Structure 1
Amino acid sequence: MDHIDLSKYFVVKGYKTGRPRCDQQKLLKVILFAFMENGISSLRDIEKFCRNDIRYLYLLDGMKAPSFATFGNFIRNELTDSIEKIFLDVNAYIFQQDHVDLEHTYIDGTKIEANANRYTWVRKKSCTKNHSKVFEKISMLIDAMNQEVLGYFNLKLEKREEYATFMRLKKDHMGNDQLLPAYNLQMAVCDEYIAIVDVKPYASDMECFVPLMEKF
């Protein structure tokens, strides 16, 4: 991480009052390490690690343990649009140092269940009928928010729809071979390094292949 120029991804702001600003590169190191060690980590757990775990204290390098809110704001404001580019920069450095063979790649994937109520089913006819009405109402609400509130903060919400697709998963918690809303996660690996990750709402791996290779 110390060999990557991360300054281009973080907005520099001047603060005349309040708490001293946290070092964003240290925040990123802590977040990546927490997710690497524990999988999906809660922000409150990360705050606790920063107070009690000597490895996190080492990564903070003298900086006071940030609060869970600080981590949340940092992820939301600084990493949402840049984390994939940072991932590519880190990869580029590793690939150069370890002379990774990028001419050969191995692809594997899995289907992950969407963040939906797993015990709720809806009818297609009802969804199709009400979808356009709901989206129209949401669009009007977003336009109002952009105009009346977020415009003052130089922010804007985008109107777009992303769907999960019903597909069969390897782990069937219902035990009845039920189709579940899910996404297809695909990874391309070079010399044991994950080179690229892509997520698509396609049940078939073949439909994911071309977008993954174009991204690679």
Structure 2
Amino acid sequence: MRNCQVRLNMNYEIYIEGSSPVRVLSNVIDEIYQKEEYTIVSKWNGAIPEDIMMKILIYGYMNDSFSSRKIEQLCKRDIHFMWLLDGFGAPDHSTISRFRQKMGEQIERVFYTVVKYLLNMKEISGENLFIDGTKIEANANRYTFVWKKAISKNEQKLRTKLPEILDEINYAYGVRFPENTGVSEMISTLSSLMIKFGIERVYGKGHHKSSYQN
């Protein structure tokens, strides 16, 4: 008996509502990549285009899925990820991992730009937005980006590290924050000092961050 393979040519478009979060995300990333700053020569040379890889990765984060293997499974089984792939086959976990390693800085830039777009579109509320990307809660629960792993893993480390960083800044630049200083005020002060001393903000792995940015 010959091996037979049945291939279904499904039109996923009809299953994705017009106001669906995945459609909004896709449109936002399309608009981002149309901008000149994102059309420079890409470091990514995989079979699946960079913008599509970006969509499935960020949509995975939106749905509390961070591991490469989990995102691979979703690309094979979840209709929303299949729709995002736009006809391309599901990437394996090694491809997803390689994309993250190679495109870390670009992923961070696109993610923050997506957040800004959604804020401007009133799709998410800034009231519950943590700028470090650990948590984003949305109006009417339409979106919930909860980076639980980042919160549980790093919260205690940040609490332990903060006094040390502030002492280092005080020693180097003579800046001291009162005990009741709010986070927003600290960020504003440190941003001003970065401008004053000509310290450039950097993103992604492989870049040394100053004490101000840490």
TM bracket (short chain)? 0.3 to 0.5
Task: Decide which structure has greater strand share.
Answer: 1
* Greater helix share, structure number: 2
Q: TM-score, normalised by structure 2?
A: 0.45
TM-score (norm 1): 0.45
